[in-house]
Amino acid sequence: MSASLLLPPGSTIGILGGGQLGRMIAQAAASLGYRTHIYAPETNPPAAQVATATTTAAYEDRDALARFAADCAVVTYEFENIPVEPVSFLAELLPVRPNPRVLRITQDRLNEKDFLARIGVPTTRYRGVSAFARLAEVVAEVGRPCVLKSSRMGYDGKGQAKIVEESDIATAWRQMGASVGIVEKFVDFAYEASVIVTRGLDGGMSCFVPVQNRHENHILAETIVPAPLSPEAQAQAQDLARKIAEAIDLVGILCVELFVGADGALLVNELAPRPHNSGHWTLDACVTSQFEQLVRAICGLPLGSTERLADCTMQNLIGDQVHAWPEILKDPRAKLHLYGKAEARPGRKMGHVTRLLGPVTAL
């Protein structure tokens, strides 16, 4: 890596989005001597509580974006549902990592599946549908049971409807709630897993160990580290992540969400080009966290070690679960992370706790 490409400590990293991921990116950046500038439409978002500077403005406000860019040396984003146009505008002014093309692919489920198909990555059977009049035909092509998902803006189970033999497709279309969707064949998987890959400016890559994810009401409830995959399947998961990262020309971090079949076969479900909830355990159980890896990657620094220091579980604290913090802190091996959100609403991620379980399990 040329020294001219290294962003020196003291430089300012711009972060689009002010949620808990932006907060933990800012904390990791500070530990390496960087300043951070949050850009978000919300007043007093969690990330602003730990950042050097904050701009509160709409993502479409080009004057505010230009002022933000003038204060930053590089920009990244903490979630993939930011409109592409403002990100492309910023990319004309300074480096944005990952680049807007990555965002354009991953924020649209149909674009994402088409990209994966082009590079030969296994996914479930799928078809796009742009009008209700074609839904019955598309469902027949894919086969029931299947899942109708909004092509854009869905997360944590929002914008989805499962279609089984007795389902009314008109009801499913209304539940999906968008004008363009994707119909995916339902996968009867053993469990869900994920693997996180980081790719630097020099093309070097590193992966964290694949993990198992358990959901409740479509929201990640618990991550189990490591996933109970065979050594061969673990290597395959990491190879798939590297293949995707290279093909998409990633500079930054990418989470690859997977379905694991009863036979151990892997199917890629979704991509997230930013730190991921299933990687929060790395803060406490790895030499380098996912957040520090992102900072290293976008600043042109050498990537850190992803060595796992302990097996562990990570539990999300959702809604009122956050009020258990006094009991959690009584466990000397529990590592509590609270996000600074004022109101514990149902379904809202308020924090997480990582519980270290002891020595690393041999693979």
Binding positions for ATP are 109, 149, 154-160, 184-187, 192, 215, 269-270
**DSSP type of residue 186:** P
**Is residue 295 a contact partner of residue 75, using CB atoms and an 8 Å limit?**
no
Q: Which residues are annotated as a binding site?
A: 109, 149, 154-160, 184-187, 192, 215, 269-270
> Helix 169-176 vs helix 135-142: angle between axes, to the nearest 10 degrees?
100
Burial (CB count within 10 angstroms: exposed 0-12, middle 13-18, buried 19+), residue 266: buried
Q: Please give the structure tokens belonging to residue 230.
A: 């065979």
Amino acid residing at 274: R
What whole-number distance in Å separates Cα of residue 2 and Cα of residue 42? 38
Amino acid residing at 255: C
What whole-number distance in Å separates Cα of residue 264 and Cα of residue 262? 5
Burial (CB count within 10 angstroms: exposed 0-12, middle 13-18, buried 19+), residue 216: exposed
What would the DSSP string read from start to end of 96-157?
BSS-HHHHHHHTBHHHHHHHHHHTT-----EEEE-SGGGHHHHHHHH-SSEEEEESBS--TT
Work out the end-to-end distance of the chain between its first and last CA atoms, rounded to an integer number of angstroms.
32
Please name the residue that has the structure tokens 């599946």: 113
Q: Please give the structure tokens belonging to residue 215.
A: 């959901």
What whole-number distance in Å separates Cα of residue 173 and Cα of residue 186? 17
What would the DSSP string read from start to end of 65-81?
HHHHHHT-SEEEES-TT
Q: Please give the structure tokens belonging to residue 125.
A: 């059977």
Amino acid residing at 337: H
Strands 12-16 and 35-40: parallel
